[in-house]
Amino acid sequence: MNNENWLGAKQLSLATSLRLLSTASLVICGVVFVLPPALYFEWAMDVDARTLRTEALLNAQSVLALSTQQPDSWSTDLSLLQELFSSENDVDDDEERRSVFSASGQLLLEQSAQELDAPRLTELVLIGDPESPIGSVAVTRSVRHVWLESASVAVGSLVFSGLLLWFMRGVLLSALRQAIEKLQEEKERALITLRSIGDAVITTDSEMRVQYLNPVAESLTGWTTEEAQGLLMDEVFFIVQEESRAPAVNPIKECLQSLQIVEMENHTVLVRRGDGQEFHIEDSAAPILHSDGRAIGAVMVFHDVTERKASQQQLKHTAFHDTLTGLPNRQLFRNRILTATEASRADGTITAVLFLDLDRFKGINDSLGHSVGDELLILVAKRLRQCVRESDTVARMGGDEFTAVLGGIHSVDNVRLIGEKMLASLANPFHIEGQHLRISTSIGVSLFPQDADNLEDLLKLADSAMYQAKDSGRNNVQFYTPDLNTRATEKLQLEYALHTALENNEYALVYQPKLDLTTGKILGVEALLRWVSPERGIVMPGDFIDRLEETGRIVQVGLWVLKTAIQQAKHWLDAGCPKVVSVNVSAYQLRQSGLVADIAGMLDAASLPAKWLQIELTESLLMNDADRSDFLFADLLGIGVGIALDDFGTGYSSLGYLRKFPIQELKIDRSFVTDIDSSETAERVVKTVVELGQALNMYVTAEGVETAEQLLRLRAMGCDAVQGFHLARPMDSEALDVWLTEFQPSADISFEI
């Protein structure tokens, strides 16, 4: 029974009680009014009757005694009877009359002839043997006083019953009316509460017949209270199990049977009447028990959790899937590998793990923007899914790395065919935002159980095979082979050593001077990084820079290089031999939004004017993200730092971009300088670059000068400066200081002073 019905029943009960109490008060007051005078009247009449009988008996005995003494004259000599009654009775004649009758009923004597007030009471007693009496004595008394006294009692009873009626109706009934009014208020409050709460409420009787639905329940079930009242709960509240779609057990039925609170089954779906819309619901049903413990009804409270369940499912999907491509993520992929290997272990088949890394994806992402890169990843994911079976899994591990697990494989050739299918699919151009993009991938494969029998090793070996695919020219499939372990081990050892190199102060800077071909002076140096490893000795940048970039530690190392170079430039400035120090900056460093602020902070900390620092950027790096480079150049110029374009000639910059960017120096790539004596093409390229620099008012420096002939030819072309082994090899700052004190320009070159 719900609160509304319970309050209504209670209100009806109180109203009935009010009517009964009103009737009872009238009855009680009537009884109080009638009973005392009636009882008094009966009692007084009984007293008078007993008194009369006693007097009659006494008078009869006296007459009997007289008749015994004077048997012949007692009935004729009336004076004797008169004397007898006068001596033995002391009663007021107005109240009582005594009469003596003969055996034949003849009045012999009447002591008082005066008429008594009505009403009257008479007692007749026989004289002598009842079988043969000699006469009788009658005593008559007026009982008017009894009526008068009873009337007085009745008046008192009337007053008392009136007071009692006033009390009962005026006090008790008033209190009862107040209780009814209060109950009515509670009923209204309960109705408002039931109608306003966010949960749905349905109540039934003990037979599961619906009594009430609040508005939320009406909305969810499609039934109104008026329509549903009296119907069985199963007709109004139709629920099914989410997975099987079988009808679910109604919790009302269970709670009425067990007389306990019953939780609704998990994954319960309510089907609404009419449109068939479904709602996921949760909550419980509870029995309503009488004071004697029997069930008189049940109440069910439930709420719609459809949105929450959808959110939970979305969260679950998000937890195990990549948000960009919708593919399984790393965690789900690992679970799929475990499932596939267990199946292979059971049926003797092969499970293949493929590790894919898109080739040169960063160039597309950096040059065309992340939106294009993201769209490309989405399209790549779709193509990869189309290359595998329904039972296989393609996942995204992060960035441009994808993985696949192929279970139930009977031949390694099948794995190769799928890998080649992936290569062919990705080789087709992608059409994104009006551009035709081509991309390839490098695929590494490990097999279960041939290569490894556990998840971690399978992933590690597939990763090693993928790097072998990249080393083999990219865009190919490589299966793991045992000799990859050695390279993988070396790679891990290198990564670990690089991880601690900065903390262990194993990095050092060397400086290669630049010679101004006009003045013959050393105007600047290029700072070059070296790794002085305790195990490997001096390691050149080409052997470890890539690993620093792959692990992301290039950012910290790059900041160390900048800080160290700035401090050295400040030392030379204070020593009276100032030099511009050029520092190469990697693409990873450029992506850090605070790079220019870091440089400015280092310059301020060292008190070094910004003009003594130059940042070198490669041509390809400049063009991969022209918009970012534009902002970067503006910020660098804002703090006064110079900018040089390194390795010029190897990229694809246009004249328009060169004019746009505020570059002060062009550095000709060493590959052209090396061939300047033997290749006319190289010579023309160098000459063109020099002329381009002059036209754009840029300082031109040639790198990799190793012979005097190259130096003379470059000077003849109008090149501004050179650096290379012919001038000096890179050296540490102390050796450079010594070298500068001993440096003399070549005697076969004349310089303007």
Q: What is the CATH number of the domain that holds 33?
A: 3.30.450
Helix, strand and coil in the chain, % to nearest 5: 50, 25, 25
Q: Are residues 298 and 332 in the same domain?
A: no
Q: For residue 524, what are its two tokens?
A: 């600047």
Residue 232 main-chain phi, psi, to 5 deg: -70, 150
Residue 296 placed within a domain: yes
Q: Which of 279, 309, 339 is the last residue of a domain?
A: 309
Q: Are residues 350 and 223 in the same domain?
A: no
pTM of the model: 0.46
Q: Which of 129, 147, 165 is the last residue of a domain?
A: 147
Q: Are residues 268 and 330 in the same domain?
A: no
Q: What is the pLDDT of residue 2?
A: 44
pLDDT tens across 711-730, in order? Answer: 999 999 999 999 999 999 99
pLDDT tens across 629-656, in order? Answer: 677 778 888 899 998 888 776 655 556 5
pLDDT tens across 478-512, in order? Answer: 999 887 666 666 777 777 788 888 889 999 999 99
CATH number reported for the structural domain that contains residue 707 in this entry: 3.20.20.450
> Per-residue pLDDT for 567 more than 90?
yes
Residue 647 placed within a domain: yes
**Over residues 131-145, mean pLDDT:** 84
Q: Are residues 597 and 718 in the same domain?
A: yes
CATH number reported for the structural domain that contains residue 360 in this entry: 3.30.70.270
Q: Are residues 119 and 213 in the same domain?
A: no
Residue 171 placed within a domain: no
Q: What is the CA radius of gyration of the chain?
A: 61
Judge residue 241's burial from the number of C-beta atoms within 10 Å of its C-beta, 0-12 exposed, 13-18 middle, 19 or more buried.
middle
Q: Are residues 356 and 428 in the same domain?
A: yes
Residue 279 placed within a domain: yes
Contacts of 609 by beta carbon, 8 Å cutoff, 6+ apart: 573, 603, 640
**Over residues 384-390, mean pLDDT:** 94
CATH number reported for the structural domain that contains residue 209 in this entry: 3.30.450.20
* Structural domains in the chain (count): 4
Give the count of beta carbons closer than 10 Å to the beta carbon of residue 547.
Answer: 16
Q: How many residues does the chain have?
A: 753
**Over residues 286-312, mean pLDDT:** 81
Q: Which of 464, 487, 510 is the last residue of a domain?
A: 487
% of the chain at pLDDT higher than 70 = 86
Helix, strand or coil, per DSSP, at residue 737 = helix
Comparing 127-141, 180-194, 209-223, 685-699, the range with the smallest average pLDDT is 180-194
Q: What is the pLDDT of residue 624?
A: 59
Q: Are residues 570 and 463 in the same domain?
A: no
Residue 314 placed within a domain: no
Domain span including residue 651: 502-542+552-742
Q: Are residues 574 and 524 in the same domain?
A: yes
Helix (H), strand (E) counts: the chain: 26, 27
Residue 507 placed within a domain: yes
Query: What is the 8-class DSSP label of residue 436?
Result: E
Helix, strand or coil, per DSSP, at residue 512 = strand
Residue 652 placed within a domain: yes
Q: Are residues 138 and 17 in the same domain?
A: yes
> Per-residue pLDDT for 658 more than 60?
yes
Q: Are residues 688 and 578 in the same domain?
A: yes
pLDDT, the chain, mean: 83
Residue 733 placed within a domain: yes
Q: Are residues 482 and 584 in the same domain?
A: no
Q: Are residues 594 and 680 in the same domain?
A: yes
